[in-house]
Amino acid sequence: MIKDNLIQQKSFDLAIEIINLYKYLKEKNEFVLSKQLLRSATSIWANIEESIGWQTKKDFLAKIYIALKKARETKYRLKLLDKSQTVKYNYTKYMIEIESIINILTKISKTTAESLQSKKV
Total domains in the fold of the chain? 1
Distance CA 67, CA 47 (A): 5
Residue 53 has what pLDDT? 84
Asked whether the beta carbons of 41 and 57 are under 8 A apart, the reply is no
Among the listed residues 61, 64, 25, the one whose alpha carbon sits nearest the alpha carbon of residue 46: 64
Domain containing residue 116: CATH number: 1.20.1440.60
pLDDT tens digits in sequence order for the chain, 121 residues long: 444 589 999 999 999 999 999 999 999 999 999 999 999 999 999 999 999 888 899 999 999 999 999 999 999 999 999 999 999 999 999 999 999 999 999 999 999 999 999 877 5
Residue 81 CB contacts under 8 Å (≥ 6 apart), including other chains: 25, 30, 33, 34, 37, 87, 89, 91
| Core vs surface per residue 74-88: b (16+ CB within 10 A) or e | bbebbeebbeeebbe
Domain extent at residue 69: 3-120
